[in-house]
Structure 1
């Protein structure tokens, strides 16, 4: 299956979702309404990068409130944060799409780079104009079977567009200066939830800390503004990156713990999660960029 997918697409066809969005609203003068997806500390890396990318391109946005549809100008485009929530295990993105269909039918919706499987029938049922960015080939194939291929794009996980030189990461950079490149020991950060890997047995000697769960679900619902409280988002990402800095190697089945560590130049033992998300993103985005730092365990 993987070989067939590779023949469908090549690396030159990755589309930057933020450049695409900038071009679209430049032509249509649409207003961006941004919805966060509830999640853990690692998901805040996606949110921070998304905010940066919108700001860098001069894309004004408002944060979707509980009664967003009452403020609809008739020219709104609803943008949903990327991630791994549009799968049968979770219901937050499905509920968000259902909510938009109910209160603002036929609206334009953009789903930023995400993983998805098993949601084809739901996508086909929606009376919405959806553009879907996929962060791996398998999701591209799944979503393309439900939507027109002109509405589906292969991209990279949004966290990979982040700029760590942003002034809001000053705390992390200051800690890096204090450490002066000193790093030691290994951090084991294996999940403790239903997505945890089947290929690593956590023992007491590992002192495992699932750091993504240390700060989780600032917004318990997609429509909660706390899911995109900008100051809190950058505070969370600083916390996570500073937590990773003193370690030489990270062992994890958390995609964004791995990505955060790679962005810091750490060695990473990457274990696949329960449904193959990490290995798929690795093949689509991480292999060429970070292959010398990653040891992948399937």
Structure 2
């Protein structure tokens, strides 16, 4: 895990410490995996002493583009990383395309991503837009993504672990007195749903959880408040609410609660990549299942196969 955190330094050659940056596409939703990427990215910024001139959530990033056409040339635009590069989550891909179209003379960096397109024609359409940019670097989390990106999207593609690894030695570590339960079954229930038929010991759907189950009604209520803040900011063409700061403070509390929940289990069996990465950060035993298109097995092979108490389960 020390090595994985240190490997994030590959970003330094592209975005040197002390750089002036804008951070776009911050996740304003309750996918805790995306929040771990977000927290790791902010930790990385802090350690590198970046000058963050603006932060915008995924709900107001597009609006920011239209309002800031005269950005100083030494500012680097950074796009939040994760697993939404492709056609499963169209809003985020359209934002990536818009950034390269509206800032053709700025350095742009897509933070570590996994790539997946179901529709080849949509991939080619997106690639036609993105590859026009002459100062774009794309970091990616696995060899398969790197191959797709180099062939179609960008000449400057670099392998990098997920940004959540910046949280190593920031989060607590599990000890024996944390453990209160045997196994947490954390299985995806969304569009990347995992087939788990035949897995020994697997409970029925009522016996496993996803991020939405771990989050509370209060979390959902608070998220709606912040979404309304962003709606007002867009509608009134204002920054009346500093949503990124309020969201950052609230999600610190949320992530700490999730950490405690994970550490209360002896083992976590999960098809969530960041369920797995979180276990690595906390020192919790983890058994990783693949998602619907091989993202998890690709990540495991590239980065976490040598982390103690980690296992990839193939069905």
The Cα of 1:204 is off from its aligned counterpart by 4.1
Give matches, 1:48-197, under 5 Å: 48-61=39-52, 62-64=54-56, 66-68=63-65, 69-70=68-69, 72-118=71-117, 119-126=123-130, 127-128=132-133, 129-149=135-155, 151-165=156-170, 180-197=177-194
CA distance in 1, matches of 2:208, 2:15: 45
Could you tell me whether the CA contact under 8 Å between 2:150 and 2:157 is conserved in 1? yes
The size of the alignment, in residue pairs, is: 273
Residues 49 and 26 from structure 1, CA distance in 2 versus in 1: closer, same or farther, beyond 3 angstroms?
Answer: closer
Q: Which runs of 5+ in 2 are unaligned?
A: 118-122, 235-241
Could you tell me whether the CA contact under 8 Å between 2:187 and 2:272 is conserved in 1? yes
Could you tell me whether the CA contact under 8 Å between 1:86 and 1:93 is conserved in 2? yes
Residues 263 and 120 from structure 1, CA distance in 2 versus in 1: closer, same or farther, beyond 3 angstroms?
Answer: farther
The Cα of 1:37 is off from its aligned counterpart by 4.3
CA distance in 2, matches of 1:297, 1:226: 41
TM-score after normalising by structure 2:
0.74
Q: Which runs of 5+ in 1 are unaligned?
A: 1-11
Supply the RMSD in Å over aligned alpha carbons: 3.3
Give matches, 1:262-277, under 5 Å: 262-277=280-295
1:284 corresponds to which of 302, 305, 308: 302
Residues 207 and 287 from structure 1, CA distance in 2 versus in 1: closer, same or farther, beyond 3 angstroms?
Answer: same
Could you tell me whether the CA contact under 8 Å between 2:101 and 2:129 is conserved in 1? no
Could you tell me whether the CA contact under 8 Å between 2:183 and 2:265 is conserved in 1? yes
The Cα of 1:189 is off from its aligned counterpart by 1.3
CA distance in 1, matches of 2:265, 2:32: 18
The Cα of 1:90 is off from its aligned counterpart by 1.1
Could you tell me whether the CA contact under 8 Å between 1:47 and 1:233 is conserved in 2? no
What is aligned with 1:34? 23
Cα distance per residue 1:173-210 (max 9 Å; x no partner)? 7xx67x72434321111111111101347744862221
The Cα of 1:249 is off from its aligned counterpart by 1.1
Residues 197 and 24 from structure 1, CA distance in 2 versus in 1: closer, same or farther, beyond 3 angstroms?
Answer: closer
TM-score after normalising by structure 1:
0.78
